[in-house]
């Protein structure tokens, strides 16, 4: 098949890793793949600079930007139509909100046989301004009429989209986000001495961009509660972003033992996770949190807010603990329960690793998507035959 993926930017992030792994699976199966992406500036880091992208044709669209810009959006739409007209893809698969609207419109106008979109996390949510949510929903409803299938990385995303009247449930399909779970299961822990963490100190890790809505204000509150009862605890932050200086200053003001690893290559993140005892993921807006699944694969029990797709993988008392949204006290109590009970931590570690390995292999995701592409585009598995 000729397959084109469209995404707004290829920063180091969950949607981008999902997209890249999908493409790598396509390429390994002999499909011709083009990735169209906008510019990828920012402190998160460029994913394609950190991960091998051999065999992928990459087209950079200068007008495909994240912010609302009618002139650039129309220019991106026209540019995508030219790409599709020249490539004549069998499948166009869009990712992220802006690329999802503009890309689907362009692919539909060019009569691409199978147009699909993945919801990695809805643009509308409880923490967004009401007028923005209204515009996002209008745009998503419009775009949903210009594609054949909408994939979602969690059942929670399907429910949110159906409840918002974006499209009927029959148009959706949950395809769990594939990951290199084996890299986390087999990762050798980074020596704590390299991080300045004493041997024997409990370690709570967070893997997330240091940006608004990633829940760092709740992490600080939870860390304060944990530190009162287990003062030797270290809080390892893997990631970077515009809030780093503010979070560093606040953690020092509160006398908390925070360790900032900064940007870490995706292939190395597992070493930081496996060097920890508990994962805390207190983001307020996610699809299905990849860092939580990666922690499960590494055998590190997670604590997360009961939002979006988290309850589908954080099974209370079995693989980790959930806390009500914005409840730092409950999150801290969950982490303390895990840190204090070696038997419970071992049981959660075993159950979590099995869940991650069974559900989230990237090859499994690729197989499911390939099957949907073939069926949707009308191409049989024999490349010489049209079905």
pLDDT tens readout for residues 165-178: 999 999 999 999 89
pLDDT of residue 44: 44
**Where are the domains positioned within the chain?**
2-178+361-377, 181-359
Do 2-178+361-377 and 181-359 share a fold? yes
pLDDT of residue 188: 95
pLDDT attached to residue 5:
96
pLDDT of residue 41: 54
Return all residues near 139 (Cβ < 8 A) that are at least 6 apart. 97, 101
* pLDDT in the model for residue 385: 41
pLDDT of residue 15: 82
Q: pLDDT (tens digit, 9 = 90+) per residue, 225-256?
A: 999 999 999 999 999 999 999 999 999 999 99
CATH number of 2-178+361-377: 3.40.50.2000
Is the pLDDT reported for residue 202 higher than 90?
A: yes
Banded model confidence at residue 382, pLDDT cuts 50, 70, 90 = low
pLDDT, tens only, 328-362: 999 999 999 999 999 999 999 999 999 999 999 99
Q: What span, in angstroms and rounded, lies between the C-alpha atoms of 263 and 259? A: 13
Residue 326: predicted pLDDT: 94
Place of tokens 């694969």: 297
pLDDT higher than threshold 80 for residue 126: no
Secondary structure string (H, E, C) spanning the chain:
CEEEEEECCCECCHHHHHHHHHHHHHHHCCCEEEEEECCCCCCCCEHHHHCCCCCCEEEECCCCCCCCCHHHHHHHHHHHHHHHHHHCCCEEEEECHHHHHHHHHHHHHCCCCEEEEEECCCCCCCCCCHHHHHHHHHHHHHHHCCCCEEEECCHHHHHHHHHCCCCCHHHEEECCCCECHHHHHCCCCCCHHHHCCCCCCCEEEEECCCCCCCCHHHHHHHHHHHHHHCCCCEEEEECCCCCHHHHHHHHHHCCCCEEEEECCCHHHHHHHHHCCCEEEECCCCCCCCHHHHHHHHCCCCEEEECCCCHHHCCCECCCEEEECCCCHHHHHHHHHHHHHCHHHHHHHHHHHHHHHHHHCEHHHHHHHHHHHHHHHHCECCCCCCEC
> pLDDT (tens digit, 9 = 90+) per residue, 18-69?
899 999 999 999 999 999 998 865 554 455 554 455 667 889 899 988 787 8
pLDDT at 258 over 70: yes
Share of the chain above pLDDT 70, in %: 93
Tokens 């209008």, located at residue: 138
Which pLDDT value is given to residue 387? 37
pLDDT at 380 over 70: no
* Average pLDDT across the chain, whole number: 91
More confident residue, 55 or 143: 143
* Residue 53: predicted pLDDT: 56
Considering the four listed CATH numbers 3.40.50.2000, 3.20.20.140, 3.30.800.10, 3.30.43.10, the one that applies to the domain covering 181-359 is 3.40.50.2000
297 pLDDT more than 60: yes
Q: What is the pLDDT of residue 266?
A: 81
Q: What is the mean pLDDT of residues 310-328?
A: 96
């Amino acid at each position: 098949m000729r397959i084109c993926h469209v995404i707004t930017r290829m920063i180091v992030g969950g949607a981008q890793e999902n997209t890249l792994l999908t493409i790598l699976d396509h390429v390994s199966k002999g499909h011709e793949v083009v990735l169209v992406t906008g510019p990828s500036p920012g402190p998160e880091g460029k994913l394609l600079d950190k991960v091998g992208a051999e065999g992928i044709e990459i087209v950079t669209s200068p007008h495909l930007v994240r912010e609302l810009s009618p002139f650039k959006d129309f220019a991106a739409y026209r540019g995508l139509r030219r790409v599709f007209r020249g490539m004549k893809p069998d499948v166009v698969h869009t990712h992220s909100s802006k690329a999802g609207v503009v890309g689907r419109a362009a692919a539909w106008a060019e009569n691409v046989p199978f147009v699909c979109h993945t919801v990695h996390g809805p643009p509308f949510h409880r923490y967004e301004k009401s007028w923005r949510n209204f515009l996002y929903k209008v745009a998503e409803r419009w775009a949903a009429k210009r594609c054949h299938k909408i994939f979602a990385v969690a059942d929670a995303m399907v429910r949110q989209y159906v409840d918002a009247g974006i499209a009927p449930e029959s148009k959706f399909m949950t395809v769990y986000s594939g990951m290199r779970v084996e890299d986390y299961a087999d990762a050798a822990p980074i020596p704590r001495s390299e991080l300045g963490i004493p041997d024997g100190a409990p370690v709570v890790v967070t893997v997330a961009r240091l940006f608004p809505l990633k829940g760092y204000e709740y992490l600080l509150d939870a860390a304060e509660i944990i530190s009162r009862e287990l003062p030797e605890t270290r809080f390892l932050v893997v990631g970077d972003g515009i809030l780093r200086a503010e979070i560093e200053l606040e953690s020092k003001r509160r006398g908390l033992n925070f360790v900032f690893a900064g940007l870490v290559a995706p292939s190395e993140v597992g070493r930081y996770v496996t060097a920890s005892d508990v994962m805390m993921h207190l983001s307020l807006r996610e699809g299905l949190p990849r860092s939580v699944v990666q922690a499960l694969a590494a055998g590190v029990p997670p604590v997360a807010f009961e939002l979006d797709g988290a309850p589908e993988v954080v099974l209370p008392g079995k693989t980790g603990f959930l806390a009500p949204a914005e409840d730092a006290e409950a999150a801290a109590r969950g982490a303390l329960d895990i840190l204090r009970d070696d038997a419970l931590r071992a049981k959660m570690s075993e159950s979590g690793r099995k869940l991650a390995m069974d559900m989230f292999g990237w090859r499994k995701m690729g197989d499911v998507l390939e099957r949907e592409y073939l069926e949707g585009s009308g191409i049989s598995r024999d490349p010489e035959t049209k079905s």
